């Protein structure tokens, strides 16, 4: 029996829910220090062992990041803080951050360029962070992925530089035997994600994909975040919903995109999405409860101890 089973005893699992439950298994979720402060106990809402990313927003003191990492880790979770290249002054700063995290048991990191327009120091890309050698002793390094491109990287609207960077990161993983994955920006439409993941495979990019999904939230909140984060064509899903008066006031739930991806994964086991990563834009408690309601024991990592 798994350590956790969130399905109520009187609820028989519906056959149609099985692909979604399997797809959600071992999901990860993201917090910030200020949102983590609002959670009295992560054990009340997340299965033990869940990977929790800690977003490092420009201006957040490293002390707050490390304190949050320690608190989340002490509660029994796998902690993965962000390392945004453009807000790291130099290698000495990077080395200091890594050492601080190691001191509280962190051995994973998400390396990304970061949201600021111009570098504040010596680093501007996640590739520079990977090459720095600062992460010796870390067990896992994730990098960012962009299923709909990124206009900060490719201002012409193409994805030429994004794909070139993905090829470089994949090659780095292969030549170093680093445990890596690509955690993506959130999207709202399934088929473009399927096409993108298949394209990665066709181009020889072997990084497993942890697909970014926006958790349940008010429609207005999602549209605001989607525009701010540069979400591309799949934003039309939200815009279409906003035009439907009957749905305008109802909270958005990621059921449709996840069911599409889950069905494709079930029919194509070798499909490159390895896990789901949630951005809890409507709150971590709301997001975690949605997974519980829709995925049963999905939060239990695949390698969880059995009793």
Q: What is the pLDDT of residue 277?
A: 97
Q: Is the pLDDT of residue 99 over 70?
A: yes
The arithmetic mean of pLDDT across residues 28-55, rounded, is 95
How is residue 76 annotated by DSSP?
T
**∠ CA 201-205-210 to the nearest 5 degrees?**
85
Q: What is the pLDDT of residue 228?
A: 63
**Please, are residues 122 and 86 in contact by the beta-carbon 8 Å criterion?**
no
Count CB neighbours of 125 within 10 A: 19
The arithmetic mean of pLDDT across residues 234-241, rounded, is 61
Packing angle of the helix pair 62-74, 91-103 (nearest 10 deg): 30
Q: How far apart are CA 71 and CA 106, in angstroms?
A: 11
Number of residues in the chain: 307
The pLDDT tens digits for 207-222 are 999 999 999 988 777 7
The pLDDT tens digits for 151-208 are 566 556 667 778 899 999 999 999 998 899 999 988 888 999 999 999 999 999 999 9
Q: What is the pLDDT of residue 170?
A: 96
Q: 52 has which bridge partners? A: 29, 79
Q: How far apart are CA 93 and CA 121, in angstroms?
A: 10
The pLDDT tens digits for 6-15 are 334 344 444 4
Q: What is the pLDDT of residue 284?
A: 94
In percent, the amount of the chain with pLDDT more than 90 equals 67
The arithmetic mean of pLDDT across residues 93-109, rounded, is 98
The arithmetic mean of pLDDT across residues 38-58, rounded, is 95
The arithmetic mean of pLDDT across residues 112-132, rounded, is 91
The arithmetic mean of pLDDT across residues 237-263, rounded, is 75
User: Which H or E element spans position 143?
Assistant: strand 140-145
The arithmetic mean of pLDDT across residues 27-44, rounded, is 95
> What string of DSSP letters covers 167-222?
HHHHHHHHHHT--EEEEEEEES-HHHHHHHHHHHHHTT--PPEEEEEE-SB-HHHH
Q: Is the pLDDT of residue 303 over 60?
A: no
Q: What is the pLDDT of residue 252?
A: 85
Q: How far apart are CA 38 and CA 120, in angstroms?
A: 30
List the one residue out of 33, 31, 90, 95 whose CA is nearest residue 59.
Answer: 33
Q: How far apart are CA 187 and CA 234, in angstroms?
A: 6
Q: Domains, the chain, ranges and CATH?
A: 16-216+253-295 (3.20.20.220)
The arithmetic mean of pLDDT across residues 291-296, rounded, is 86
Q: What is the pLDDT of residue 81?
A: 98
The pTM (predicted TM-score) of the whole model is 0.85
Which three-class secondary structure string do you get for 209-276? EEEEEECCECHHHHHHHHHHCCCCCCHHHHHHHHCCHHHHCCCECCHHHHHHHHHHHHHCCCCCEEEE
């Amino acid at each position: 029996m798994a350590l956790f089973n969130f399905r109520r005893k009187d609820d028989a699992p519906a056959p149609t829910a099985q692909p979604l439950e399997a797809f959600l298994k071992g999901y990860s979720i993201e917090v910030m220090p200020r949102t983590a402060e609002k959670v009295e106990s992560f054990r009340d809402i997340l299965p033990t062992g869940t990977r929790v990313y800690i977003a490092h927003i420009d201006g957040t003191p490293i002390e707050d990041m490390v304190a949050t990492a320690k608190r989340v880790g002490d509660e029994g979770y796998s902690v993965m803080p962000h390392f945004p290249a453009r807000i790291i002054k130099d290698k000495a700063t990077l080395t200091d951050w890594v050492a601080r995290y190691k001191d509280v048991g962190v051995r994973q990191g998400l390396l990304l360029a970061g949201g600021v327009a111009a570098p504040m120091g010596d680093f501007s890309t996640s590739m520079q962070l990977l090459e720095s050698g600062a992460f010796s002793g870390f067990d896992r390094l994730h990098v960012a992925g962009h299923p709909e491109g990124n206009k900060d990287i490719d201002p012409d609207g193409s994805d030429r530089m994004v794909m070139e960077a993905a090829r470089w990161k994949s090659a780095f993983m292969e030549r170093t035997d680093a445990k890596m994955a690509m955690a993506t920006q959130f999207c709202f439409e399934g088929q473009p994600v399927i096409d993108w993941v298949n394209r990665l495979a066709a181009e020889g990019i072997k990084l497993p994909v942890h697909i970014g999904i926006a958790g349940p939230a008010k429609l207005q909140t999602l549209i605001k975040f989607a525009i701010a984060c540069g979400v591309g064509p799949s934003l039309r899903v939200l815009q279409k919903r906003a035009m439907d008066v009957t749905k305008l006031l109802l909270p958005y739930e990621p059921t449709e995109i996840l069911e599409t991806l889950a069905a494709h994964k079930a029919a194509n086991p070798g499909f490159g999405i390895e896990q789901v990563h949630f951005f809890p834009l409507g709150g971590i408690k709301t997001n975690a409860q949605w997974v519980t309601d829709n995925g049963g024991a999905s939060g239990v990592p695949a390698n969880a101890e059995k009793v």
